Amino acid sequence: MNGLYLLIPILSGIVGAIFTSWLVQEYDNYGKKYSHFSDRFTKRSQCDFCQKKLKFYELMPIFSFILQGGKSRCCDKSLRKKYIVFEGLGALIFMVGALYSLINISILALLLIFLIFVDERYKEIALWNNLSLLFWVLHEVTYRFEFNEIMANLIGAVSVTLVLVFIYFFYRATRKREGIGIGDIILLFTTFLYFGVPLSLYLLIAASLSLIVKIIVTRKYKDEHAFGSWIAGFFLIFTVFQEFYEIVG
């Protein structure tokens, strides 16, 4: 067996773990104003408990956790389990992606999972998150689709966006609150551009029905509910399903 065959999935797994490690940090500090842009990438380099600056060997995703027995080296506190859980998941998603030559799907999966968590907790979609998904889709459609198909999807996406923007302003004018967020509208534009009609409509119906069921089951009729997270969830399910069929068929 070629050594590279194993090396690439392992390296991909490390990249996946580092990427996830940063996403967890972004999730925890969502909405925080950083004095320097670079702080956004170095925030995790201090201890969660005593704020002591960490050494490079304490910053390795997964490995540091295992080597330190799940404790911080500086103040001997138990490290949060979510780090190793999510870094492990990110590593796994990237390793599987590398094995099947579907690393693009791995990147998409992490971006969508991040969106689900942020939207559920903060009722918002980070602009960078939405734009990275849009760029991902733009790259995929120009690389994989025929010109006619792209134009058809684009017309569908623009039509749906215009309707949603109308609903947005109508709601804001009549009810004095937002019925749908701008973030959700951008995400739906991206969804229609990628899946086209009618698949996007099925996705939209599935996401809407799921949200309605959630509201009925939790009986939280008056609370604000995240919608983008449901679109993102079905976006992921539909994509994985499509890729699975391509591999099998």
- In terms of Cβ atoms closer than 10 Å to its own Cβ (0-12, 13-18, 19+), residue 249 is exposed
User: Could you give the CA distance from residue 118 to residue 56 in angstroms, rounded to a whole number?
Assistant: 28
Q: Judged by CB under 5 A, which of 75, 212, 213, 247 binds Zn ion?
A: 75
Stretch that binds Zn ion, among 15-23, 34-42, 74-82, 216-224 (CB under 5 A): 74-82
Tokens of 200: 């996007």
Residue 153 interacts with Zn ion (CB under 5 A): yes or no: no
The token pair at 202 is: 């099925």
Cα 155 off chain centre by: 25
Coil, helix or strand for 152?
A: helix
Stretch touching Zn ion by CB under 5 A, among 66-74, 129-137, 147-155, 231-239: 66-74
Residue from 50, 66, 163, 209 touching Zn ion (CB under 5 A): that is 50
Stretch that binds Zn ion, among 51-59, 81-89, 151-159, 232-240 (CB under 5 A): 51-59
Q: Which residue is nearest to Zn ion (CB)?
A: 47
Distances (CA, A) of 19 to 22, 23, 149: 5, 6, 33
80 near Zn ion, judged by CB under 5 A: no
Please report whether residue 46 would count as binding Zn ion according to CB under 5 A. no
d(CA 213, CA 220): 11
Residue number, 27 or 49, with CB nearest to Zn ion: 49
SS3 of 206, please?
helix
DSSP conformation class of 50: T
Q: Which segment (65-73, 84-92, 123-131, 236-244) binds Zn ion by CB under 5 A?
A: 65-73
Residue 141 touching Zn ion (CB under 5 A): no
Report if residue 171 touches Zn ion, rule: CB under 5 A: no
- In the stretch 214-233, what mask flags binding to Zn ion with x, by CB under 5 A? --------------------
* Spatial distance between the Cα atoms of 14 and 11, rounded to a whole number of angstroms: 5
Q: What is the smallest separation between the CB atom of 73 and Zn ion, expressed in angstroms?
A: 8
Distance in angstroms (rounded) separating the CA atoms of residues 185 and 177: 16
* Per rule CB under 5 A, count of chain residues that contact Zn ion: 7
Sites of contact with Zn ion (CB under 5 A): 47, 49-50, 52, 72, 74-75
